[in-house]
Structure 1
Amino acid sequence: MSEIEKDTQQSKDAVRQDAKGLWQSLKIFMVELLDFRADTDREATMQHIKNDIPFKGATAWILICSIFVASIGLNANSTAVVIGAMLISPLMGPILGMGMSIAINDIDTLKKSLINLAIMIVLSLVTAYLFFRFFPLGNQETSELLGRTQPDIRDVLIAFFGGLALIIARTKKGTIASVIFGVAIATALMPPLCTAGYGLANGNIPYFLGAMNLFTINTIFIALATFIVLKVLRFPMIKYANSKKRKRISQLASLAAIIVMIYPTITFLRVLKNSGFESDYNSFIQKEVELNNDLWFQKGILDTDKKIITLYFNGEIADATVTDLRNEVKGYDNIGDFEVLVNGNKNRSFDKISDAYDRAISDLDEKDNIIAGLQSQIENLKNEIAGMNAKNNSFSFSEVSKDAKIEFEDLTSFGFSKMLVSNDFRTVDTVNVASVKWKKALSDSVVKIKETQLKDWLKKQIKTDSIVLKND
């Protein structure tokens, strides 16, 4: 082997060693970064968890107050108030006790945890029930309340990872546990219990069952997270002097662990499946229905139990459109085998609505023509009346009356009209009649003089040869 080949081989070996050293360094860094076993304080963790299990005295009152605060927050639809209630809730103790007792084979702690958890649940439900039953505004359905009646896959993940964060922090030496201890559990447990109390107070059983289902899911997944972390950290198992008792306790703990894991697994799969249904259904509605401008979509109903999608439209739906919708739904993984039922409103089809619109426009046009004709007739009548007035009255009454008052200050009233008169009952004549009224202080002789003057003045003003004057 030549010198050049030796140098090349040495360079390759050096690169391999450097790469191997880099990988080992990266591996060591990641292990040190993610390994939390070195900071674990096993004895202190178990002792603190056991101390938080008992439920009496101050703890009971703290729970009652936190339930009231959370109920008010849910009723007022205030996320900030609900979070405030979460920070003071003592619900986490018995749940951590359940997970720890199963992990370390401690049947006595498991019993205490279950009993205290049951007491907490009953007290919480009673408190929430009393609030929503007797508070004047307690029956208002808010988004904060409704959000706890139908658990989905996100609630399961929140409970599980919240439980992991809690127990990991709880086992660490130092003060980090006190920072997130209340938040990790209360976030998942307080609102469902308050919502369940709301359902009881208002006789709404579906709300009660949905909220209790969410509470059960959160409780079990938090306990499951606690169980897994303590097993990973290899917390010491409790040993019993009696071998039969040790075996029996071990079997009971194993059975409890299996039972605890069965329900979360089934629930997780069911919620995951329902989430898949909802996701595909929403995508189907958005892409295949709502984006079709020819369809007047009203609403849709997804029935996952019967595997039916019911669609309601305003207007008649063609058979080809129904067939197309049924074919399109087959392209989705989760709802591909669902039956699509289409309900259209034949009485509100597009053609009929168009015809009704055209008829309405035609009727409006006809009415406009009628109105225009009537207005023309009214204008003609106005003109005729004006012509008649101009012919019969060649003067302005208002101007004449003003001038009469100026010329004859003693006048208190003045009227003018044309009266039809027949002396032979065959022919008709028109007579100008003026009605006047004088001040009472005037004597009869003065009145006669002024009436003669008024007659002569009126004849000039209205340009007539005769006028009859009446004194009222």
Structure 2
Amino acid sequence: MKENTEIDREKRLADENTQEIKKDLKGLLGGIKIFLVDLLDIRQNTDQEATKESIIADIPFKGHTSWILICSIFIASVGLNANSTAVVIGAMLISPLMGPILGIGLSLAINDIDTLRRSIKNFAVMVVLSVFTAFLFFYFFPLRDESSELLARTAPDIRDVLIAFFGGLALVIARAKKGTIASVIFGVAIATALMPPLCTVGFALAIGNFSYATGAMYLFTINTIFIGLATFLVIKVLRFPMVRYANSQRRRFIARMASIVAVAVMIPAGFTFYDVFQESIFRKDAKDFVKQNIVPYKLPGEGRYLENLTEIQYNHGVNGFIELVFMGSEPIPDNVIATWNAQKDSYPKLKNTDLKIVQGSKNLELDQMKYVNELYESQKTELLSREQQIQVLRSEVAKLNKMAEKQIPFQDISEEAKLNYDTMASIAFAFTISTDFNTLDTIPVFRVKWKDGLSERQMNEQTEKLSKWLQLRLKDPKIQVKKELN
């Protein structure tokens, strides 16, 4: 009996301890919840009316705002042309680009059709004025180099989309805070996504490169959509009051149209985000593949991989390609190319991608001067003087001439040999690589087959005579001629 009493008492103590632990845990979770609500909740400190008025006030482009935009576009164009990030940021500090885009997001969120109409009209004015200003600058400015800052805005990247979206979120949240006046500094993130692409469109039109213009405008459109989407979402989360219309039928119609437009914008935005994300992964895998497998490969002799001429083309997951350019006197062995293809397929995003190999020895029409130009462009920022630039170009031209000297004009040689040796049945040519395990040597080898009816002595004499002629004709004493048996 006494033992049962003791057991019951221990059970009661255990139950009491369990209840106290649950109570403490519940209190801890409750405290964390309160802390997180206080930390992240922005509804309690939002001034809806002031936010709405400030966004609507920034929509129009006229007078002072237009001139501020023109000046900021000029400054940004100079910065992009000079490859100066600091100057571009300075232009962003005074840029009024965000007004119409925030107006579009706000009007869609609160069903304000009049504000939507005004926002779209001023957005069009903003785009035309910005592109025209940048076009005039680059058209009349004598220095129009394709700087890396400009070229970086000719194609969308997943990071540009993220900058636009989170920049839009930060700007709208900052504007909604009660008791503060949103500084122009809040617009820098949005200007980052909008100004450089618009300036690049003007630059591309000035030089007549419409592919650049299309890519930059596509990037600007994507960024605009995601900034508007961020504004729309924040306004919805903060539960801004919907615009009321006296006519209930008109109110329902406008609400329905605003919802349709919002969905029509968000669905393509989602697909675009996914496509840009996939392209970013594809390009990363392609660069990793080239860096890990192609760059380390050592070609014999003077052969080299022309990394500056590598082209990576993404085509929405199908029919993309990676084009690699090599120069040298010996072709890359087929088994090496097969190995590269197998290594390429180990990257998930590269399985349906074609690997194109362009080799100087197989493509005599390869534009060697293009390579020299690409080499100069890639190294000119690292050179300290004009003498160094000239020395680098001379060195590379000498290497190209040395490789060109090793090229055998086989078609011309075979035609001349046929005229000189009417007893020749066929002739073939290939480079043979030999080594004494200390150095590699490349030997041009011709293989000749003589017509039936010649004696062994006559074939040997003709072969020796052909060898001397080829060595003299091609000015290469290392040339060998081997007789093929009939």
TM-score (norm 2): 0.70
Matches within 5 A, 1:263-302: 263-293=268-298, 296-299=304-307, 300-302=310-312
Residue 7 in 1 paired to residue 19 in 2?
A: no
CA distance in 2, matches of 1:345, 1:88: 51
Shift of 1:220: 1.1
Which secondary structure does the structure 2 equivalent of 1:341 belong to?
strand
Q: Which residue of 2 aligns with 1:342?
A: 357
1:92 paired residue number: 98
For the 8 Å contact 2:102–2:228, the answer to whether it is kept is: yes
Any residues of structure 2 matched to 1:395-414 within 5 Å, and which?
none
Q: CA RMSD in A?
A: 2.4
Write the deviation string for residues 48-94 of structure 1: whole angstroms up to 9, x where unpaired: 11111111111111111111111111111111111111010111111
Distance 1:354 1:33 in 2: 72
Instruction: State the shift of 1:294 in Å.
Output: 5.8
CA distance in 2, matches of 1:294, 1:76: 38
CA distance in 2, matches of 1:307, 1:216: 24
Aligned residue identity for 2:442? D
Contact 2:323 2:357 in 1 (8 A): yes
Question: CA–CA distance in 1 between the matches of 2:313 and 2:220?
Answer: 24
Greater gyration radius: 1
Trace 1:215-234 onto structure 2 (pairs within 5 A). 215-234=220-239
Q: Structure 2: 5+ residue runs without aligned partners?
A: 1-6, 363-402, 404-430, 435-439, 445-470, 477-486
Change beyond 3 A, Cα 1:75–1:310: closer
Q: Is it true that 1:129 corresponds to 2:135 in the alignment?
A: yes
Alignment check: 8 A CA contact 1:166 1:180 kept: no
> In the alignment, which of 108, 113, 126 is matched to residue 114 of structure 2?
108
Aligned to 2:385: none
Cα offsets for 1:283-340 (capped at 9, x unmatched)? 2112222234468533433232322233333432222222211222221111112222
Asked whether the 8 Å contact 2:163–2:189 carries over to 1, the reply is no
| 2:432–2:443 contact (8 Å) kept in structure 1 | no
| Deviation for aligned residue 1:269 | 1.6
Cα distance, 1:224–1:4 mapped onto 2, change above 3 Å: same
Which residue is equivalent to 1:421? none
- Residue 258 (structure 2) pairs with residue 253 (structure 1): yes
Deviation track 1:176-208 (CA, whole Å, cap 9, x = no partner) reads: 622633213212111111111111111111121
Matched to 1:351, the amino acid is I
CA contact (8 A) 2:166 2:230 kept: yes
CA contact (8 A) 2:94 2:184 kept: no
Distance (Å, rounded) in 1 between the aligned partners of 2:17 and 2:149: 66
Say which SS state the counterpart of residue 182 (structure 2) adopts: helix
Q: Where does the alignment leave 5 or more consecutive residues of structure 1 unmatched?
A: 365-472
- Identity, % of aligned pairs? 53
Letter matched to residue 317 of structure 1 = I
The DSSP-based 3-state class of the residue aligned with 1:355 is strand
Partner amino acid, structure 1, of 2:49: E
TM-superposed deviation, 1:350: 8.0
> In the comparison of the two structures, how many residue pairs are matched?
360
**Rounded Cα–Cα distance in structure 2 between residues aligned with 1:135 and 1:18:** 72
- The answer on whether the counterparts of 1:42 and 1:171 sit within 8 Å (CA) in structure 2 is yes
Q: Which residue of 1 aligns with 2:4?
A: none
What is the one-letter code of the residue matched to 2:320?
K
Aligned residue for 2:306, secondary structure, equals: strand
144-153 or 98-107: bigger deviation: 144-153
The question of 1:120 aligning with 2:126 is answered yes
Which residue is 1:310 aligned to? 323
